[in-house]
Chain A
Amino acid sequence: MSYLIKGDTGNWEVVIGLEVHAQVVSQAKLFSGASVAFGAAPNTQVSCVDAGMPGMLPVINGFCVAQAVKTGLGLKARINRHSVFARKNYFYADLPQGYQISQYDQPIVGEGTIVLDMPDGSTRTIGIERLHLEQDAGKSIHDMHPQKTFIDLNRSGVALMEIVSKPDLRSPEEAGQYLRKLRSILRYLGTCDGNMEEGSMRCDANVSVRPAGSNELRTRCEIKNVNSVRFVMQAIEHEARRHVDVYESGGTIVQETRLYDSNRDETRSMRSKEMAHDYRYFPDPDLPPLIFDQAFIDKIKASLPELPDDKKERFIRDYALSTYDADVLVAEQENALYFETVAKGRDAKLAANWVISNLFGMLNKQGVAIADSPVKAKDLGALIDLIADNTLSGRMAKEVFEVMVETGKAPAMIVEERGLKQVTDTGAIDAAIDQIIAANPDKVAEYRSGKDKLMGWFVGQLMKATQGKANPGLCGELLKKKLAP
């Protein structure tokens, strides 16, 4: 199912590559001992290195190196045991050194892959071009003073991983899936918290178009810093449409950096950056090459958690789940763990249904994270046990679930308190059936003369007589026997 843009001259295909800046989870910055904690008072987490004071020497944080390697392994990528830090030179008020320490032609991580799970159940493998380590810049605040920009350097020097995809993405939908999957992997690994709203994951999108069926790569535009998955998808859709319109009206696309304005749903050209693009990279003379041995990589490899793709495969294999259910359950580690707690020793398909439809539905509605769920995994498991041993019908279980959400009580206690126990005693049901038959001889006669549809009416009467507590399967069975001519 390919995504094509209809133009006057024919169909167009969109070519997308994404650059994601992921903030490394660490205590201290990439080259200094200042804290990376979010939301501190201005300039309280700044060392002389981060402030670009003369004569200071950067010293690399070994944990950030390990985090980058871990991420590389999670992306099934080549790890470069020898990599080099370079200075990327540009002039901006929140960049006190006058350059960003980054990596250029020798990054710490090389080519890898990421597998997208598309909504139709298919998968798409997208190439990763590279991952490198670099420093974040400080923060400029433009709205605190009419003539001045305020600068806070707390973010200056925080470790970022820039993760660059190959231009393999072909639709806004795929770009969205790529970001979701990357975020999922980073969160599983614990190397980035993936929070786009707080800016710990930021995305630039490179977009170009070409006539469908062609293999050429046309001029691309870069859309900067879009801060949600939805906006990235909208920005790409808009930008691709703009390219098609420009080409079809005989114009040309100039390579440039554009900003996405989500309020107006449009992209617009940023202030001319022709100078800024001359970054004059060169190896940072303050930093010898970054070198580590295979044992360092192996140790990290041994510490890797089970990643979403492996977990998904295991869920499908061991629990016989559908691809869709497995995708939904493994997206977040906490969700997968919750499901496994519920499913352990129980009907996994039933557990998956309850977790996905009822639990996730309720959490979404209430806007609550799974960690704060009013219904704990062991209690949901106990509820499923009550369905399995016929204490509750499916309908009654839903009622009990509602009460669990409100009260946080264990299901057995709710069943006890409300006298909700399903009647499975055939004697009691038989007695109720006898009464119904005695009270409705005309209906019985009609049924016996072939009006099968009346069975539904009898079941209804029986549920009414037992206040809905009779086991529906058992009711049908016993009724049929009693009503037989």
Chain B
Amino acid sequence: MSLDKATVRRIATLARIDVQEAELEPLAGELSAILGWIEQLQEVDTSAVAPMTGGTDAALPWRSDVVDDGGQPEKVVANAPDPQDGFFTVPKVVE
């Protein structure tokens, strides 16, 4: 699978990464190479293996329905630019 410039531009936009026009072409080459490398896995016959969603056998740990966190609003917003009245603030999002 090889990626073209337009696809790379779209991926960059979705990921909110500012990629310069001149970088698109080289990135397309690098990403295509990575994809090609991973595609080698397709050569392995997995017809008898159930699909996996993780690399370990670890079970999902469960927690009880108990409130044991929160109550630290000043810490939550401590690293945010310009918190006001306990809120995060961002440039106005117009819908």
Contacts and interface: CB of A to CB of B under 8 A. Distances in A.
The SS class assigned to the A binding surface is loop
A27 B69 CA distance: 11
Contacts of B16: 91
Contact of B65 (A26, A51, A147, A153): A26
Interface in A143-193: 144-153
A121 to B, nearest CB: 41
A141 B16 CA distance: 23
B14 interface: yes
B62 A59 contact: yes
A41 B76 CA distance: 13
B73 A33 contact: no
Contacts of A61: 62-65
Contacts of A271: 94-95
Contacts of A93: 88, 90, 93
Nearest to B56: A288
B66 A43 contact: no
A64 B65 contact: yes
B90 A33 contact: no
A208 to B, nearest CB: 24
Contact of B76 (A43, A141, A270): A43
Interface string A39-79: 00111111100010000000111111100000000000000
A47 B69 contact: yes
A43 B60 contact: no
Contacts of B67: 27-28, 33-35
A201 to B, nearest CB: 20
Interface string B67-95: 11111110011000010111111111111
A287 B60 contact: yes
A275 interface: yes
Nearest to B75: A48
B26 interface: no
Nearest to B87: A150
B13 A151 contact: no
Interface stretch (A122-130, A277-285, A320-328): A277-285
A62 to B, nearest CB: 4
The SS class assigned to the B binding surface is loop
A148 B76 CA distance: 19
B13 A275 contact: yes
A59 B61 contact: yes
Contacts of B73: 41-44, 46
Interface residues of A, number: 53
A140 B68 CA distance: 25
Contacts of A151: 87-90
B13 A148 contact: no
A90 to B, nearest CB: 9
A404 B26 CA distance: 84
A397 to B, nearest CB: 48
A89 interface: yes
Contacts of B53: 84, 283, 288-289
B10 to A, nearest CB: 8
Given A46-B76, A289-B54, A141 B87 contact: yes
Given A148-B91, A271-B95, A89 B14 contact: yes
A151 B35 CA distance: 38
A269 to B, nearest CB: 12
B65 A35 contact: no
A146 B64 CA distance: 42
Given A149-B91, A150-B84, A33 B69 contact: yes
Contacts of B89: 145, 148-151
A142 interface: yes
Nearest to B59: A288
B38 interface: no
Contacts of B49: none
A412 interface: no
A289 B50 CA distance: 13
Interface in A78-97: 84, 89, 91-93
Contacts of B22: none
Contacts of A92: 93
A286 to B, nearest CB: 9
A147 to B, nearest CB: 6
A275 B14 contact: yes
5 contacts: A63-B64, A278-B10, A278-B14, A289-B54, A290-B60
Given A26-B65, A28-B67, A89-B14, 19 more contacts: A28-B68, A34-B67, A43-B77, A44-B86, A46-B70, A46-B72, A62-B64, A63-B65, A91-B14, A142-B93, A144-B87, A149-B90, A149-B93, A150-B85, A275-B14, A283-B53, A287-B60, A288-B60, A291-B60
